[in-house]
Amino acid sequence: MDSRCKSCDAQCCRYYCFEIDKPDTFEQFENIRWFLLHDKTTVHIDGDGDWYIRIDNLCLNLVQTADGPRCKDYANRPMVCRTFSPQSCEFSEGDHEYEELFTTAQQLDDYAKRMLGDLAYNKGHAKMQAKKKT
């Protein structure tokens, strides 16, 4: 185990994050808005313009020990854990910087209005409202 990991609170074991497609349409923004309506979920745009979803959820193998939080099955941990770099984690480098961070559906909705423009946003919203009535 890397020495930095021994003094960390296992931040990498407390969430998972993966890239999602950048939304280009009202419907695609609506799918991401749905993600944000779930507890402990955020979406962000990184410095390269890539979109990610983050779900805060503890790994089932994370246990509290006298030495702090540790993996109860370290020898059999998944490949993603084995290849994770302590040099680039939040503990070593601090929080990641985001171009945009969405913690609520409203924040994403406001962003969608700006990015799509009033005409496209209002058209998509009207289409959604019409579907509600059927």
Residue 132: its pLDDT value, please? Answer: 72
Q: What is the pTM of this model?
A: 0.82
Which residues fall within 8 angstroms of residue 99, CB to CB, at 6 or more apart?
44, 45, 46, 47, 49
Q: What is the pLDDT of residues 42-62, one digit of tens each?
A: 999 999 999 999 999 999 999
Q: What is the pLDDT of residues 98-131, one digit of tens each?
A: 899 999 999 999 999 999 988 888 888 888 888 7
Domain ranges of the chain: 3-128
Residue 100: its pLDDT value, please? Answer: 96
